């Protein structure tokens, strides 16, 4: 009796802490979204007031959609994020499979080398990367960004996925080998579906820094055609005057696609599909 | 259907030798069981026969063909795993037919082979289900069915019953024995359970630390063990080892199976006190502490009432006693 009560008490305390944290974390997002629907005067006068008939103004959105090629920026961000994600997951999973599955000389060293990138920020190499892209003729292309982000995401992907792949049953892979499946089919049809939750985790961790990044778009691809949404939003922030309506509207819009991607992956995170494969 | 020959097969991981030169011949249609404690290399040896582990030196021959460096799929073998290892995304039918599809067999032949295997294992009602919708016993039957469909020259079983509960284990064991009779195929079966070994095998291979200790039929091993390890491993409960010197026998130790000791309250050659009694209905196991030999097991048929701490006397059946030297080797 007392045991169940204390259990409920603990549960309430845990929820209270989590709800408080959620509120704190979501507060800035909430302020951005509500103010993006208000007039400039209302933003400064009453920043915490929700949008209502008196202060309702869509000027931010109309500015964003009229000025500059915002749809193009969106498309660029989407292309870069999705393509980088695809390559990080593909190459990361393949490297992780090789490291966890095959015994070869230097396996451990190779694993450490690949994981080293987690500790060394890729931005330290910005100058070298820029020189590389200039000599390769890739400046102001989305390819440059995709290459850099793939490199940036790989270390963590390899690290997390190789741990998970070690836990995939050897018997299952061996059964595939005896039945004559190629190593590629074993990887794609047997192993990958079983590590899908880990893939989703890696996807979320990889996606958000790429979508939010300002640094590499600014340096490697600042041209009008290749601007990403974060870089595109910067036009409204001036040295002396900032168009807050437009900035807030652009930021609100920028949240939507990443939220959609997150929802897709988090469904995968939750779905347990290993049941029945092995005991 | 084929005969398998291993000659001087070894396996090392780095500097550790796991299999230290195994010579073995398994005749066509024979049921051969590898048995030994965990870490003795029995599973590794099976994987080497399957081609899942490289052979460090020596050769593996199946049906007169050297398959030492052949890929697993090309060896005409099938394997049943401890964890079933069914493909989670495929139905039972597809699980069973995948190997034949990979080999490019015509569809009619595949359907026929699948139907035959399903009928043998009573799997017909489950053909369109996924592995996650089956019970443990059904999953292991599917795994066995997957092996049968391929009509391999050699069946390999890697502790197939370890994940099943006791009742199902006995049932599946009988099913495997029946399959062996019906198919007449050569089978190699790995287990650490000596009861499975005794009940299924035509030939038992006892392994310890990568070395074959003894090869023989179950009764040969039971009646004629080569050393203390085999004597202790085969037979349940385990053989008692008594100090020869205290008995006036030759050798270092004298082995007597629990069923070859008689127990009496009045007279006997070895005195001791009862330390524990296990009543199983059909038989009674009495554990007797007798110095200097230690704890001895006596297996009595039927029900017997012995109290703990009761003084008793044991008499061994001298004709069934085994004598071993200090190194554990049998003195004949």
The residues, any chain, with a CB within 8 Å of residue B63's CB and separated by 6 or more, are B2, B3, B76, B153
Sign of the CA dihedral running B51, B57, B62, B67: positive
> Do A278 and B163 form a contact (C-beta atoms < 8 A)?
no
> Do B168 and B137 form a contact (C-beta atoms < 8 A)?
yes
**Interchain proximity A279–B87, CB inside 8 Å:** no
Selected residues 160-179 of chain A with any CB under 8 Å from a CB in chain B: 169, 171-172, 174-179
Nearest to A172 among B73, B85, B134 (CB): B85
Report d(CA A148, CA A84) in Å as an integer: 9
Mean pLDDT of chain A: 86
A3 touches chain B (CB under 8 A): no
Residues B114 and B130 in one domain: yes
The residues, any chain, with a CB within 8 Å of residue B73's CB and separated by 6 or more, are A177, A178, A179, A180, A181, B99, B102, B103
Q: Does residue A67 carry a pLDDT above 80?
A: no
Residues B18 and B111 in one domain: yes
B52 touches chain A (CB under 8 A): yes
Instruction: Give the Å distances, CA to CA, from A4 to A12, A17, A18, A133.
Output: 12, 20, 21, 63
Q: Is residue B275 part of a domain?
A: yes
Write down the ipTM of this complex: 0.84
Look up the CATH number of the domain holding residue B255: 2.40.50.140
Give the H or E element holding residue B203: strand B203-208
Pick the CATH number of A60-278 from 3.40.718.10, 3.40.309.10, 1.10.3720.10, 1.10.150.20: 1.10.3720.10
Instruction: Give the Å distances, CA to CA, from B308 to B83, B251, B311.
Output: 42, 32, 9
**Interchain proximity A177–B133, CB inside 8 Å:** no
Report d(CA A130, CA A142) in Å as an integer: 14
Q: How many domains does chain B have?
A: 2
Residue with tokens 């295997």: B117
Phi, psi (5° rounding) for residue A46? -135, 80
Q: Does residue A277 carry a pLDDT above 60?
A: no
Q: Does residue A266 carry a pLDDT above 90?
A: no
Written as one string, the DSSP assignment of B116-154 is: HHHHHTT-GGGTTS-GGGS-HHHHHHHHHHHHHHT--SE
Rg of the Cα atoms in chain A: 23
Tokens representing B264 are: 């009496």
Residues B57 and B133 in one domain: yes
Predicted local confidence at residue A267, as pLDDT: 75
Give the end of a domain, one of B229, B258, B273: B229
Find the domain containing B300 and state its range: 237-324
Nearest to B72 among A178, A278, A279 (CB): A178
Residues B223 and B284 in one domain: no
- The reply to whether omega before B292 is within 30° of 0 (cis) is yes
Residues B142 and B281 in one domain: no
Residues B68 and B178 in one domain: yes
Q: Is residue B279 part of a domain?
A: yes
Residues B191 and B246 in one domain: no
Q: Which residues of A touch B82 (CB under 8 A)?
A: 171
pLDDT band at A273 (very low <50, low <70, confident <90, very high): very low
Domain ranges of chain A: 1-57, 60-278
Q: Divide the 332 residues of chain B into consecutive groups of 10 and give the mean pLDDT of each group.
A: 88 90 93 92 93 92 91 91 90 92 91 91 91 89 92 92 88 91 92 91 93 94 94 91 88 93 91 94 94 92 92 92 92 84
pLDDT band at A275 (very low <50, low <70, confident <90, very high): very low
Nearest to B87 among A180, A190, A279 (CB): A190
Q: Is residue B152 part of a domain?
A: yes
Residues B91 and B173 in one domain: yes
Q: Does residue A274 carry a pLDDT above 60?
A: no
A271 touches chain B (CB under 8 A): no
Report d(CA A173, CA A179) in Å as an integer: 10
B294 touches chain A (CB under 8 A): no
Residues B225 and B267 in one domain: no
Predicted local confidence at residue B47, as pLDDT: 93
Nearest CA to CA, how far is B102 from chain A (Å)?
6
Residues B197 and B241 in one domain: no
Nearest CA in chain A to B163: A279
Predicted local confidence at residue A3, as pLDDT: 57
Q: Which residues of A touch B158 (CB under 8 A)?
A: 171
Instruction: Give the Å distances, CA to CA, from A8 to A17, A18, A19, B36, B106.
Output: 14, 15, 16, 51, 62
- The reply to whether omega before B237 is within 30° of 0 (cis) is yes
Written as one string, the DSSP assignment of chain A is: -HHHHHHHHHHHHHHHHHHHHHHHHHHHHHHHHHHHTB-HHHHHH-TTSPP-TTTB--HHHHHHHHSS-HHHHHHHHHHHHHHHHHHHHHHHHHHHHHHHH---TTHHHHHHHHHGGGTS-GGGGHHHHHHHHHHHT-TTSHHHHHHHHHHHHHHHHHHHHHHHHHTS-HHHHHHHHHTT--HHHIIIIIIHHHTHHHHHHHHHHHHHHHHH--HHHHHH--STTT--HHHHHGGGB-SS-B-HHHHHHHHHHHHHHHHHHHHHHHHHHH----BTTB-
Residues B151 and B250 in one domain: no
Nearest CA in chain B to A185: B102
Report d(CA B16, CA B213) in Å as an integer: 19
Q: Please choose, from the candidates B44, B86, B53, the residue with its C-alpha nearest in 3D space to the C-alpha of residue B72.
A: B53
Q: Which residues of A touch B77 (CB under 8 A)?
A: 178
Q: Is residue B28 part of a domain?
A: yes
Q: Does residue A272 carry a pLDDT above 50?
A: no
> Do B251 and B324 form a contact (C-beta atoms < 8 A)?
yes
Nearest CA in chain B to A173: B85
Taking the CB of residue A190, how many other CB atoms lie within 10 A of it? 22
Residues B79 and B167 in one domain: yes
> In the beta sheet, which residues pair with residue A242?
A237
Predicted local confidence at residue A10, as pLDDT: 87
> Do B58 and B21 form a contact (C-beta atoms < 8 A)?
yes
Decide: pTM greater than 0.90: no
Look up the CATH number of the domain holding residue B108: 3.40.50.300
Q: Mapping DSSP to helix (H, G, I), strand (E, B) and coil, where does residue B222 land? A: helix
Q: Is residue B121 part of a domain?
A: yes
The residues, any chain, with a CB within 8 Å of residue A63's CB and separated by 6 or more, are A236, A243, A245, A246, A249
Q: Is residue B172 part of a domain?
A: yes
Q: Is residue B267 part of a domain?
A: yes
Q: Does residue A279 carry a pLDDT above 60?
A: no
Q: Is residue B330 part of a domain?
A: no
Predicted local confidence at residue A271, as pLDDT: 59
Q: What is the mean pLDDT of residues A74-89?
A: 94
């Amino acid at each position: 009796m007392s045991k169940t009560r204390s259990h409920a008490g603990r549960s309430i305390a845990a929820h209270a802490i989590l709800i408080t944290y959620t509120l704190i974390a979501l507060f800035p997002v909430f302020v951005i979204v509500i103010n993006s629907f208000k007039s400039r005067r209302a933003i400064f006068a009453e920043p915490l007031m929700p949008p209502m008939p008196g202060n309702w103004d869509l000027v931010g959105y109309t500015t964003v959609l009229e000025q500059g090629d915002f749809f193009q920026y969106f498309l660029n961000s989407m292309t870069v994020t999705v393509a980088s994600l695809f390559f990080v997951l593909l190459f990361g999973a393949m490297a992780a499979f090789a490291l966890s599955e095959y015994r070869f000389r230097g396996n451990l060293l190779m694993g450490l080398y690949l994981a080293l990138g987690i500790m060394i920020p890729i931005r330290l190499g910005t100058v070298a990367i820029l020189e590389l892209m200039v000599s390769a003729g890739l400046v102001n292309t989305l390819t440059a960004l995709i290459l850099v982000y793939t490199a940036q995401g790989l270390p963590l992907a390899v690290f997390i996925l190789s741990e998970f792949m070690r836990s995939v049953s050897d018997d299952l892979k061996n059964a595939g080998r005896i039945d004559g499946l190629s190593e590629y089919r074993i990887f794609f049809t047997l192993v990958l579906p079983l590590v899908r939750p880990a893939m989703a985790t890696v996807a979320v961790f990889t996606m958000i820094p790429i979508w939010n990044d300002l640094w590499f778009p600014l340096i490697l691809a600042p041209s009008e055609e290749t601007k990403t949404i974060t870089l595109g939003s910067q036009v409204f922030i001036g040295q002396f005057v900032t168009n807050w309506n437009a900035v807030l509207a652009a930021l609100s819009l920028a949240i939507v696609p990443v939220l959609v991607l997150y929802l897709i992956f988090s469904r995968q995170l939750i779905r347990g599909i290993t049941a029945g494969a092995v005991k | 259907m084929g005969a398998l020959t291993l000659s001087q097969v070894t396996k090392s991981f780095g500097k550790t030798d796991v299999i230290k030169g195994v010579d073995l011949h398994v005749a066509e249609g024979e049921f051969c069981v590898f048995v030994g404690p965990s870490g003795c290399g029995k599973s590794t040896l099976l994987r080497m026969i399957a081609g899942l582990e490289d052979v460090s030196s020596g050769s593996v021959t199946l049906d007169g063909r050297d398959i030492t460096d052949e890929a697993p799929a090309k060896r005409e073998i099938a394997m049943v795993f401890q964890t079933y290892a069914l493909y989670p995304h495929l139905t039972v039918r597809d699980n069973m037919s995948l190997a034949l599809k990979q080999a490019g067999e015509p569809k009619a032949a595949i359907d026929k082979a699948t139907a035959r295997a399903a009928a043998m294992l009573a799997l017909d009602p489950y053909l369109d289900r996924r592995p996650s919708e089956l019970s443990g016993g059904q999953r292991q039957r599917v795994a066995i069915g997957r092996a049968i469909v391929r009509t391999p020259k050699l069946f390999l079983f890697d502790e197939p019953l370890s994940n099943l509960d006791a009742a199902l284990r006995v049932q599946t064991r009988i099913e495997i024995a029946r399959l062996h009779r019906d198919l007449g195929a050569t089978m190699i079966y790995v287990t650490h359970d000596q009861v499975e070994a005794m009940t299924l095998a035509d030939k038992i291979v006892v392994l310890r630390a990568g070395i074959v200790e003894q090869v023989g039929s179950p009764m040969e091993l039971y009646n004629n063990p080569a050393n203390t390890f085999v004597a202790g491993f085969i037979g349940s409960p385990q053989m008692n080892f008594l100090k020869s010197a205290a008995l006036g026998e030759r050798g270092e130790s004298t082995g007597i199976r629990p069923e070859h000791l008689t127990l009496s309250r009045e007279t006997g050659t070895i005195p001791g006190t009862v330390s524990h009694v296990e009543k199983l209905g059909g038989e009674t196991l009495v554990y007797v502490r007798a110095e200097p030999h230690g704890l001895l097991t006596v297996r009595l048929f039927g029900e017997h009432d012995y109290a703990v701490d009761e003084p008793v006397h044991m008499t061994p059946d001298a004709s069934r006693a085994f004598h071993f030297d200090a190194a554990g080797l049998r003195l004949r």
